[in-house]
């Protein structure tokens, strides 16, 4: 890579009891990159993301942030450097949506950056399209609306590095595209983003690099048009997949053999 990595993992091994969940994973993320972690259920995507945040203990290996061992960095300093969105972002206490978004500004209390709180919160709410939801209780919102509020919290935190675990899982198509577009903008502005995705088309459309995981190992790491091949993805997902490149756009489709006959409907039905 031409730019030094801001986040680097070497030889990561993670075990849960007798089961090895990560088996020697290397990953380096540089400024200006949007990196998508993809793979089937149980491939190790979320474990890798949580290892990168420092929330999962390593059996062996090392993780460095800005060249420093992750474990040597104070929690508050980490919170100013990287923002995290996990799958478990449920809030059971009836905070208002704006209170949840404001939590993203907590690391900056008592610092000059706190003067930007109102502007950062407003911009984050607009990015996530939750401005009209801000005064509502989080417990009253739909799953997709809560996910957007959680994304707004991450945006409000204003960190160079963002790590997100399936941020599009409960979103409609419009908001899936919007979230990935905002992450791409973040990378284009010099930030770094690592995101776990199941939608291979989304990953191919927005990610600078895709890391294909299978059985706790990296099977491919590179630009989508290089890393995504029909043969590799078919092997990894244990289902036939077709990769097509049209005008530099990569499209991934499952191969389906649907034999159901559909009943004819009236033309005006």
Please indicate, yes or no, whether residues 69 and 197 belong to a single structural domain of this protein. Answer: yes
Cα 209 to Cα 91: distance, rounded to the nearest angstrom: 32
Could you give the CA distance from residue 6 to residue 193 in angstroms, rounded to a whole number? Answer: 11
Q: Please tell me the predicted confidence (pLDDT) of residue 267.
A: 65
Question: Looking at the predicted structure, is the pLDDT value of residue 2 above 60?
Answer: no
Residue 228: band (very low, low, confident or very high) from pLDDT cuts 50, 70, 90: very high
Residues 68 and 168 in one domain: yes
Q: Give residue 189's pLDDT.
A: 98
Give the end of a domain, one of 158, 187, 206.
158
What percent of the chain is modeled with pLDDT above 90? 89
Confidence label for 4 from pLDDT (cuts 50, 70 and 90): confident
Residues 197, 223, single domain; the answer is: yes
Considering 158, 184, 203, which residue would you say is the last residue of a domain? Answer: 158
What tokens were used for 128?
């996530």
Residue 222's alpha-carbon distances to 17, 55, 65, 136, 172, in angstroms, are 32, 26, 21, 42, 28
Residue 22 CA to chain centroid, in angstroms? 18
pLDDT at 1 exceeding the cut of 60: no
Do 171 and 181 lie in a common domain?
A: yes
Q: With 70 as the cut, is the pLDDT of residue 187 above it?
A: yes
CATH at 234 = 3.40.50.300
Name the average pLDDT for the chain.
94
CB distance 200 to 36 below 8 Å: no
Res 9 pLDDT > 50: yes
- 175 and 49 part of one domain: yes
Range of the domain at 46: 1-73+160-239
DSSP for 119-137, please give it. Answer: HHHHHHHHHTT-GGGTTSB
Residues 5 and 37 in one domain: yes
Is 198 part of a structural domain of the chain? yes
Does one domain contain both 138 and 26? no
* pLDDT band with cut points at 50, 70 and 90 for residue 3: low
Contact 31, 193 (CB under 8 A): no
Residue 226 has pLDDT above 80, yes or no: yes
Residue linked to tokens 């989508």 = 224
Give yes or no: residues 165 and 184 share one domain: yes
- The number of distinct structural domains making up the chain is 2
């Amino acid at each position: 890579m031409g730019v030094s990595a801001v986040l680097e993992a070497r030889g990561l091994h993670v075990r849960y009891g007798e089961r090895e969940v990560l088996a020697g994973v290397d990953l380096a993320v540089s400024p200006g990159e949007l990196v998508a972690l993809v793979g089937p259920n149980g491939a190790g995507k979320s474990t890798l993301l949580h290892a990168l945040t420092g929330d999962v203990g390593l059996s062996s290996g090392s993780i460095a942030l800005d060249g420093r061992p992750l474990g040597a960095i104070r929690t508050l300093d980490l919170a100013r450097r990287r923002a995290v969105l996990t799958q478990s972002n449920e809030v059971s206490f009836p905070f208002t949506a704006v209170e949840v978004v404001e939590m993203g500004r907590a690391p900056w209390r008592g610092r000059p950056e706190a003067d930007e709180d109102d502007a950062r919160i407003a911009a984050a709410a607009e990015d996530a399209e939750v401005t009209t939801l801000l005064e509502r209780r989080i417990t009253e919102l739909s799953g997709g609306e809560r996910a957007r509020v959680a994304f707004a919290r991450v945006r409000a935190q204003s960190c160079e590095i963002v790590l997100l675990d399936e941020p599009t899982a409960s979103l409609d198509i419009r908001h899936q595209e919007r979230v990935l577009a905002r992450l791409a903008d973040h990378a284009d502005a010099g930030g770094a983003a690592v995101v776990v995705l199941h939608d291979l088309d989304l990953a191919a459309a927005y990610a600078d690099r895709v890391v294909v995981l299978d059985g706790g190992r990296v099977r491919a790491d590179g630009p989508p048009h290089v890393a995504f091949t029909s043969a590799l993805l078919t092997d990894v997902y244990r289902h036939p997949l077709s990769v097509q490149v049209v005008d530099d756009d990569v499209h991934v489709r499952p191969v389906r053999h649907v034999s159901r006959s559909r009943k004819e409907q009236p033309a005006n039905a």
